[in-house]
């Protein structure tokens, strides 16, 4: 009974000590956050009123972009990769269709997308999968032949 009481008291004291040391862990300074997003809010307001591309904004209202680290090429690459991904059947890359389902996967990609580049990618997936299975069978056959 004494051991149980001592263990319970020890657990409670450890919990109280850890709670007392991390009191300011989740404090949020809203003024600092508002200051950080003020320039972005001005840019958003301008875009909502006028619209336009990055080039048009930089020509007409370049002061809104000062001090911002906007990398247009990286954003474009990410968006184009995401749109290419969304064009594939069920959002699954064509390579995986061919790799996992073989000829059936190639057929799915061909009939759904009707895109020759995606169909070629699915074909490459099928060929890679076939080559891996062939290597696996050769290794297994060689090891089983060597043991007998």
Torsion of CA 136, 137, 142, 144, to 10 degrees: 110
Instruction: Identify which has the larger pLDDT, 87 or 105.
Output: 105
pTM of the model: 0.44
How far is Cα 37 from Cα 77, in angstroms, rounded to an integer? 25
The CA-based angle 107-109-112, given to 5 degrees, is: 100
For residue 87, is pLDDT > 70? yes
How far is Cα 123 from Cα 118, in angstroms, rounded to an integer? 9
| Closest listed residue to residue 40, CA positions, set 78, 68, 62, 72 | 68
For residue 1, is pLDDT > 60? no
The answer to whether residue 65 is domain-embedded is no
The answer to whether residue 7 is domain-embedded is no
Instruction: Identify which has the larger pLDDT, 84 or 114.
Output: 114
The answer to whether residue 98 is domain-embedded is yes
- For 10-29, the pLDDT digits (tens) are 665 655 555 555 556 677 78
CA distances from 136 to 86, 97, 99, 133, 144 (A): 33, 21, 15, 5, 12
For residue 76, is pLDDT > 80? no
137 CB-near residues (< 8 Å, 6+ apart):
none
> What's the domain count of the chain?
1
Domain that holds residue 147: 89-148
Tokens of 4: 């149980």
pLDDT attached to residue 59: 81
The answer to whether residue 43 is domain-embedded is no
Q: What percent of the chain has pLDDT over 70?
A: 71
The answer to whether residue 146 is domain-embedded is yes
Instruction: Identify which has the larger pLDDT, 16 or 56.
Output: 56
Tokens of 66: 């000062």
Instruction: Identify which has the larger pLDDT, 86 or 117.
Output: 117
How far is Cα 28 from Cα 26, in angstroms, rounded to an integer? 6
């Amino acid at each position: 009974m004494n051991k149980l009481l001592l263990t319970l008291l020890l657990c409670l004291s450890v919990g109280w000590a850890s709670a007392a040391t991390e009191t300011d862990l989740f404090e949020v300074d809203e003024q600092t956050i508002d200051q950080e997003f003020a320039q972005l809010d001005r840019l958003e307001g301008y875009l909502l009123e006028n619209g336009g591309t990055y080039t048009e904004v930089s020509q007409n209202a370049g002061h809104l972009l000062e001090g911002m680290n906007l990398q247009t090429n990286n954003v474009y690459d990410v968006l184009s990769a995401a749109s290419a991904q969304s064009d594939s059947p069920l959002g699954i890359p064509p390579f995986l269709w061919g790799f996992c389902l073989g000829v059936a996967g190639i057929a799915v990609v061909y009939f759904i997308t009707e895109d020759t580049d995606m169909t070629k990618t699915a074909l490459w997936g099928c060929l890679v999968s076939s080559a891996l299975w062939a290597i696996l069978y050769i290794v297994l056959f060689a090891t089983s032949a060597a043991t007998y």
